Amino acid sequence: MKIKICGMKYNTAEVAKLQPDYLGFIFYDKSPRNFEGVIPEFPKSIKKVGVFVDEAIDVIIQKIKKFGLDAIQLHGNESPDYCKELRKHCHAELDSASQYEIIKVFSIKDEFNFSQLKPYEDIVNYFLFDTKGKLPGGNGYTFNWDVLKEYPSTKPYFLSGGIGLEEMDNVMSFLQREESKYCYAIDINSKFEIKPGLKAIEKLEEFKKYVSSSDF
């Protein structure tokens, strides 16, 4: 099971020492975790994810170039056509375009119309399911994972939304169920913070140990 730690801002180098699979940097000025600094050097095995909300494609391309991003997470109302256009620009303006991963986020509370995934199937690399809240991401509570029993796709997805150490038994239970078959990664953020963007290293160590000791 892959681990993504999102909302990086202050102690990125320390978090990178834990060797998660992905580190997420939010480029959205309405977020308290909006990233504006310099990303420190860390192993290339850790993928850098840029998180954007209804951003202009040329701005995303600029951020990919500036920060060396490996993946693009789209957390707004980006249409399938927008995603196609983004992919086209990656091919035209960046080297090795095929290696850029596009993660499309969908927010869920107690129900979800999975038919809206279909137009994205052949365009994006992963889906990410997060909790519907006032802001895109970082709302601090989970959605009803039973909704994923109706997941109709074989596309791998990230499970996100309010996951903390208190939810680990529920996470492990979920990962033993049929609906977790295509769960590719666990995405964590606000439940592992001292303040927005400053991660609690000991909590993250405990989480990683928990996940690493499992068979998933």
CATH superfamily of 2-212: Aldolase class I (3.20.20.70)
Residue 90 or 199, more confident: 199
Tens of pLDDT, residue by residue over 160-214, are 988 999 988 899 999 999 999 999 999 999 999 999 999 999 999 999 988 877 6
147-159 pLDDT per residue, tens: 999 999 999 999 9
CB 93 within 8 A of CB 130: no
Distance CA 71, CA 47 (A): 7
**215 has a pLDDT exceeding 70:** no
Query: Which bin fits 24, alpha (ψ -120 to 50), beta or left (φ > 0)?
Result: beta
Structure confidence by residue, pLDDT tens digits, 55-77: 999 999 999 999 999 999 999 99
- Cβ atoms of 138 and 31 within 8 Å: the answer is yes
Radius of gyration of the chain (CA): 16
pLDDT for residue 145 is more than 60: yes
Task: Report the distance separating Cα 113 and Cα 71, nearest Å.
Answer: 26
Q: Is-contact 167 112, C-beta < 8 A?
A: no
